[in-house]
C-alpha cells in the first residue's frame, strides 16, 4: 500500500509546490507525527504508555462528558510526550466547556509545563498564555482571506511553539496553505480537512513542503482527513529516503 500512496503523494507534492515558492531546503524537513487519541475516561491515559512510535500524542479531552474532569497533575507524568487539546465545538470539538473554566485549566497546565493546543480565537477572548504552546485556527465553513491568515501568523508565530492552521478542503485551499509555508516562519503547521481521499495526499505533500505536524488517528479520526498515525509514519519514512 505504501508504494502506491508514495506515488500519489509525490504527484500531489508536485502539483501543490507549483502554487508555492517553497525551496528544496524545506522539502527534507521531517514533520512530527502526532497520534490523536480521544479520551473517554481517565483510564485512557494509560494508553499513552503503549503508543511509543509517534513523536507526540494528542489527548483530546473534549471527548470527555466533562472535558475538565481530569486533574492536570495526572497529566504531568506524560508531559514530555503529549499535547492536551480541549477543542472548541465551533472549531471541530465534541463537548462544550465553560470558557472561563477552560482558561483556568489551561493556565494550570501552563504552570505545570504541559504542552497544549489552544485556539487563537480563544486566546483573543480569554488572554491565556501561549508562549511555547501550539496556537491553532480551524476554518470549518469557508477559507478566510490570505491576508487574514498572514496577520494571524505575524501575531502568534514568534512566541508559539507551532502555529497550526486547518482549512476545509474547498476551492483554493491548496494554494492558500502552500503560500502560508512560503512565509519566513519555520514553525508553521498547515492541514486540509475533508473526507475525500485526496486530502490524505495533500497532508503528506504539505508535510514535505515544511508543515511541522502531521496528525494521524489511533482508533478513529478526530478530524476529517486523518490517516492512521502508523501509516503516516511508514509513508514519511519511505519518502524521506526517496529523492523527489
Dig out the grid coordinates for 221 from the structure: 479520526
User: Furthest-apart CA pair in the chain: how many Å?
Assistant: 49
> Of the listed 102, 133, 138, 243, which one is catalytic?
138
How far apart (Å, rounded) are the C-alpha atoms in residues 235 and 220?
19
Active site residue 164: yes
DSSP state of 132: T
Active-site residue flag, 148? no
Of the residues 29, 50, 148, 164, only one is catalytic, namely: 164
Task: Name, in order, each residue with C-beta under 8 angstroms of 188's C-beta and a sequence gap of 6 or more.
Answer: 153, 157, 162, 163, 164, 165, 180, 181, 210, 211, 212
Q: Answer yes or no: are the C-beta atoms of 194 and 179 closer than 8 Å.
A: no
Active site residues: 138, 164
Amino acid at each position: 500500500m505504501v508504494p502506491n500512496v508514495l506515488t500519489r503523494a509525490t504527484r500531489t507534492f508536485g502539483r501543490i509546490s507549483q502554487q508555492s515558492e517553497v525551496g528544496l531546503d524545506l522539502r527534507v524537513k521531517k514533520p512530527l507525527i502526532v497520534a490523536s487519541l480521544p479520551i473517554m475516561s481517565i483510564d485512557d491515559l494509560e494508553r499513552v504508555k503503549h503508543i511509543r512510535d509517534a513523536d507526540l500524542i494528542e489527548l483530546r479531552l473534549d471527548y470527555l462528558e466533562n472535558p475538565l474532569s481530569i486533574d492536570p497533575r495526572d497529566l504531568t507524568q506524560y508531559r514530555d510526550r503529549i499535547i492536551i487539546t480541549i477543542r472548541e465545538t465551533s472549531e471541530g470539538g465534541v463537548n462544550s466547556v465553560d470558557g472561563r473554566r477552560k482558561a483556568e485549566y489551561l493556565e494550570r497546565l501552563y504552570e505545570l509545563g504541559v504542552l497544549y493546543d489552544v485556539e487563537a480565537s480563544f486566546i483573543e477572548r480569554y488572554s491565556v498564555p501561549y508562549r511555547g504552546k501550539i496556537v491553532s485556527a480551524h476554518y470549518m465553513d469557508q477559507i478566510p482571506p490570505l491576508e487574514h491568515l498572514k496577520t494571524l501568523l505575524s501575531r502568534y508565530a514568534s512566541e508559539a511553539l507551532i502555529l497550526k492552521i486547518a482549512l476545509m478542503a474547498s476551492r483554493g485551499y491548496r494554494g492558500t496553505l502552500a503560500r502560508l509555508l512560503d512565509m519566513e516562519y519555520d514553525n508553521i503547521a498547515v492541514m486540509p480537512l475533508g473526507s475525500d481521499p485526496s486530502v490524505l495526499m495533500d497532508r503528506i505533500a504539505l508535510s514535505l513542503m515544511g508543515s511541522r505536524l502531521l496528525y494521524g488517528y489511533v482508533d478513529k479520526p478526530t478530524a476529517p482527513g486523518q490517516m492512521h498515525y502508523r501509516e503516516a509514519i511508514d509513508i514519511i519514512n519511505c519518502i524521506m529516503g526517496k529523492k523527489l
